[in-house]
Amino acid sequence: MSAKNSVMKVSLNHISEVFLYEYFVSDGKEYDLSETDTALEYKKKAKEFMSSGNIAKAQQEWIKAHFENPVDMENILSIISCCKQLGDIEGEYAYTLDSYNFCCTRAEMAAYYRNLGWYYLEKYDPDLASVCYMYSQLFDETKQAEEELKFLEKALNKKIEKKSVEDLQKILKKNNIPTEANSVTLALLFKAGGEAESAGDFIQALDCYRMVYDLTQDKEVSEKISKLQENLAR
């Protein structure tokens, strides 16, 4: 096999994915970008298997899609969903931990905490599970987290005590669980936005800045978004 043929090919669809892949996944190894979205066909098959209830087969296809694009959160979250349905507790936990670096929105951060909540519930730690579910609601209120908290109350036969943000964070930190988005991820998204902006790709730059703003509400980022929107409106 020639050196050229041995170079890894990955299917990255956005400048933000390139920055995340290079930092968290590539380990400095050379890679080429696929000319087409090679994960797409695997995703399509995975969804068909999920619709027919064949979760094991669906998971195999999601894993293939994940191999093509390791930073795509749709792939990661879908694998996690399959792990839950298949009762693979440790697999769910491993992918959940991996997902943290690729959480670029409040909705994805909320999913991260809900998935941790599921894991701790399965590991018979309902108190920590409830904290994770409650904390997820601060990022994105979902019916799923609400239902899980109701389930916990029923199972424990007691009302779950409401906790302040500070108390929730204290418990999470005590258990070595991050309380906010990865600062490295945010820096990479901001850098990707700057590179896209310099290249004149204002659409991708906006995508990157919006993800950063979604998680930080940073004033400087908000100003960048406004300027880019003005440029696009001209």
106-140 tens-digit pLDDT: 999 999 999 999 999 999 999 999 999 999 999 99
d(CA 188, CA 26) in angstroms, rounded, equals: 14
Segment 147-169 mean pLDDT: 92
pLDDT over 70 at 228, yes or no:
yes
pLDDT over 90 at 6, yes or no:
no
pLDDT over 90 at 5, yes or no:
no
pLDDT band at 158 (very low <50, low <70, confident <90, very high): confident
pLDDT over 60 at 172, yes or no:
yes
For residue 231, how far is the Cα from the chain centroid?
30
pLDDT at 1: 34
pLDDT at 7: 84
pTM score above 0.85: yes
162 vs 211, which has greater pLDDT?
A: 211
pLDDT over 50 at 163, yes or no:
yes
pLDDT at 157: 86
Burial of 163 (0-12, 13-18, 19+ CB in 10 A): middle
pLDDT at 30: 93
Beta bridge partners of 10: 33
Segment 61-89 mean pLDDT: 98
For residue 36, how far is the Cα from the chain centroid?
23
Please say whether the beta carbons of 111 and 95 come within 8 A.
no
pLDDT over 60 at 4, yes or no:
no
Helix (H) or strand (E) holding 212: helix 202-216
Q: Mean of the per-residue pLDDT values for the chain?
A: 95
Segment 45-65 mean pLDDT: 98
d(CA 73, CA 106) in angstroms, rounded, equals: 13
Segment 202-209 mean pLDDT: 97
| φ/ψ of residue 115, rounded to 5 | -70, -35
pLDDT at 28: 87
pLDDT band at 3 (very low <50, low <70, confident <90, very high): very low
| φ/ψ of residue 182, rounded to 5 | -65, 125
pLDDT at 231: 82
